[in-house]
A and B are shown apart, each in its own frame.
Chain A
Amino acid sequence: MGGLLYKDFVSINGKRLVWILIIGTVLFFGLRVVFPGTMNQESFMTMTDDGQEVNILDLLFISAFACCMIGILGLMNGWVAKIVDGDTKNKIRGYISSLPLEKNAYIASKYLFIAISAYVFLSFEMMWGVICNAFCREGIFSELVSAICSFIPAFTCLVLLSASIELPLFILLGVQKAKLVKIAVVMGIGFVIVGFLFFGDLNWLSENFSILVFMKWYETHTFEVAFFTILSPVITLALYYLSYRITCFFSNREV
């Protein structure tokens, strides 16, 4: 199993990625120390709509943090295709099936690899949140980082849910067909968004999607947020395991 996991690690250029993550984190930390939100330079200070004094530097770092989170979602989304595609090209799957490994070891390794990667990224995201917050000016931005951090587990669940749909597709249907299905789904979502932009109520969007509205909602819905925080990982892990069992079932029938 360790070998299979390492193979997947190599296929996504894992070593380079780990170095990028470590160097990026150190750089982020260094910049945050040099430019803390507590810096009282007038050119960095501004007011929010409700009269709170905030530091632009905080906003800059929080934006970078949020962009990194979204970037990771995109990055991990491409990994399922990458790790299965590499095996198909090199005919590794057939070779592995001839080895004295457990019947479902190959499928288990894929699921395990994505789960471990999700955990590693979750930890890095939490660390970035901690770095961001440690040098933040007290107030709305500090609370915003805490709010974002409380959604990181749910965000990671999204990655796992997406993988629990993608993995069976890529393993059972093959890379080409699975890619077609994926493109169809992404295009469908894209059409819905474009449709909303053309025909939807954009005023509603601008009124309801601002930091202040989000923070107000977050403060008044602590129970729902906590409940969601508890339930989402449990449900996601259950679905992820179910997806694994389904893939194993159909894969064994194919053989």
Chain B
Amino acid sequence: MDKKLEAKRLFLYLALSFFLTWIVFFTYIFTGNKWDGSNPRMESLSALGMLIPVLSHVLTRWITKEGFSLTGEGSMMLGISLKNRKWVFYLFALFMPWIYFEIGHGLSLIIYPDLFDPEYYKVMGIAKNMIPLLPLVAIINGAIGSFAAFGEEGGWRGYMMPKLIDLVGTKKAVFIGGIIWGVWHAPLTCVGHNFGLDYPGFPYLGILIMCVDCTFMGIMLTYITQKTNSIWPAAIMHAVNNANPSILVAYTNTERAAQVMPNPIMGFVILLIPTIVIGSICLVLLCREKA
């Protein structure tokens, strides 16, 4: 493997990915938008940004004449195989976000019981009989409509991570990759994505926590990608994760976070604990495998 050439390709991919996505994100910001509550327009704009990494992947392969093989070594990893118990990782992708979100929300309610609000689902605009279905809606919608997450995973897990692992080794790669992925989200974090605008340490603390989240989430995604040689499980898991599959979310009043927590961002940090634990286990498994 020509390391210099691989590094050049990686830098080109990163430059394209950041430049093109940030054009979309900055267009969104400079037209006066802020992430102050969810609406279809905002979600659509961010979904457009999510498609850029895979576009950058294709562009990089085209510019550097790397070829467009769909499966196998150095490919775009678009194949799907369920043989040799690979289907287990598809189940992992579908259900793991539900598990860590539910544990995360449970932890939040144990540590800060004042967050519990039996009628918060009304504020969220969810009918009571819908609550038990929330995780299933997220899982099925994630599995079916994974194209936006495919946009990100096709780039990060499909191109950046294999190159980084080849260049610096697994352990360093997952941390560097996580930070890159977290920084990529920075423009949106600066307008309130995930953490809002009103917290001590804004926006740097938000960017830092996003990097931690992306690192551990990225480890899980890299693990299932490496195990299946396919980016599809990662795309599915990312999509399900973005849909926030949880029943307890309907009873966790995040608007009270500012009153009950020293820093409202603590809520997200607690939510992150299960992700960090599961991500660490995946890291051990990933490193053992590579060794």
- Residues on A lying within 8 angstroms of B by beta carbon are 122-123, 126-127, 129-136, 138, 142-143, 145-146, 152-153, 156, 222-223, 226-227, 229-230, 233-234
**Interface pair B137/A153, CB less than 8 Å apart:** no
Starting from the known contacts A130-B47, A136-B44, A226-B133, 13 additional A-B residue pairs (CB-CB under 8 Å) come to: A126-B145, A130-B148, A133-B40, A133-B41, A134-B41, A142-B39, A142-B40, A152-B145, A222-B130, A223-B133, A229-B137, A230-B136, A233-B143
16 contacts between A and B (CB under 8 A): A122-B144, A122-B145, A122-B147, A130-B44, A130-B148, A134-B45, A143-B40, A145-B40, A222-B126, A222-B127, A223-B127, A226-B133, A226-B137, A229-B141, A233-B143, A233-B144
A127 touching B51 in the complex, CB below 8 Å, given contacts A227-B133, A234-B140: yes
Tell me the total A-B contact number using a CB cutoff of 8 A.
68
Q: Are B130 and A146 in contact (CB under 8 A)?
A: no
Interfacial chain A residues near B84, Cβ < 8 Å: none
Contact between chains at A123 and B51 (CB < 8 Å): no
Q: Which of A131, A152, A229 contacts B44 (CB 8 A)?
A: A131
Tell me the complex Cα distance, A212–B60, Å. 46
- Determine the residue in chain A with the shortest Cβ distance to B147: A123
Which residues of chain B have C-beta atoms less than 8 A from A146's C-beta?
40
**In the complex, A135 Cα to B40 Cα: how many Å?**
10
A233 to B40, CA, bound (A): 23
- Provide the residues of chain A in CB contact with B44, threshold 8 Å: 129-134, 136
Alpha-carbon gap, A138 to B44, bound state (A) = 12
- List the 10 closest pairs (A to B, CB-CB), nearest first: A123-B147, A134-B44, A133-B44, A130-B44, A146-B40, A130-B47, A134-B45, A153-B144, A223-B127, A133-B40
Q: Which residue of the partner chain A has the closest CB to B146? A: A123
Give the one of B40, B47, B127, B141 with max A CB within 10 A.
B40
Q: Is the CB of A131 within 8 A of B48?
A: yes
Q: How far is the CB of A30 from chain B (nearest CB, A)?
A: 13
Q: Which residues of the partner chain A approach B40 to less than 8 Å between Cβ atoms? A: 133, 136, 142-143, 145-146
Residues of B within 8 A of A134 (CB): 41, 44-45, 47-48
Residues of A within 8 A of B130 (CB): 222-223, 226
Tell me, in angstroms, the Cα distance from A123 to B126 when the chains sit together.
26
A127 CA to B129 CA in the complex, in Å?
A: 30
Complex CA–CA separation, A132 to B150 (angstroms): 19
Q: Please state if A229 and B140 are interface contacts (CB–CB under 8 Å).
A: yes
Kindly list chain B residues whose C-beta atoms are within 8 Å of the C-beta of A136. 40-41, 44
* Among B133, B145, B148, B150, residue most surrounded by chain A Cβ atoms (within 10 Å): B145
Known A-B contacts A142-B39, A222-B130, A227-B133; A153 and B145 likewise in contact (beta carbons under 8 Å): yes
| Closest B residue, CB atoms, query A129 | B44
In chain B, positions 97-141 with a C-beta closer than 8 Å to chain A are: 126-127, 129-130, 133, 136-137, 140-141
Contacts of B127 in A (CB 8 A): 222-223
Interface residues of B in 43-85 (CB under 8 A from A): 43-45, 47-48, 51
Cβ–Cβ < 8 Å partners of B148 in chain A: 126, 130
CA distance A126 to B146 in the complex (A): 10
Q: A27 → chain B, closest Cβ, in Å? A: 15
Given A123-B150, A145-B40, A146-B40, A230–B48 Cβ distance below 8 Å? no
User: Taking the nearest CB of chain A, how far is it from the CB of B70, in angstroms?
Assistant: 9
Residue of A nearest to B125 (CB): A222
**Complex CA distance for A127 and B47, rounded to whole angstroms:** 9
Q: Is the CB of A130 within 8 A of B144?
A: no
In angstroms, how far is the closest chain B Cβ from the Cβ of A123? 4
Which B residues are CB-close (under 8 A) to A223?
127, 129-130, 133
- Chain A residues closer than 8 Å to B129, beta-carbon distance: 223
Chain B residues with Cβ under 8 A from A143's Cβ?
A: 40
**Complex CA distance for A213 and B137, rounded to whole angstroms:** 25
Contacts of A234 in B (CB 8 A): 140
B150 — which chain A residues lie within 8 A by C-beta? 123
A223 to B130, CA, bound (A): 6
Most buried by B among A126, A133, A156: A133
Q: Mark B164-201, 1 if CB is under 8 A from A, else 0.
A: 00000000000000000000000000000000000000
Please, what's the 1-or-0 string for B186-221, where 1 marks a CB less than 8 Å from any CB in chain A?
Answer: 000000000000000000000000000000000000
A226 to B39, CA, bound (A): 18
Q: Which residue of B lies closest to A120 (CB)?
A: B147
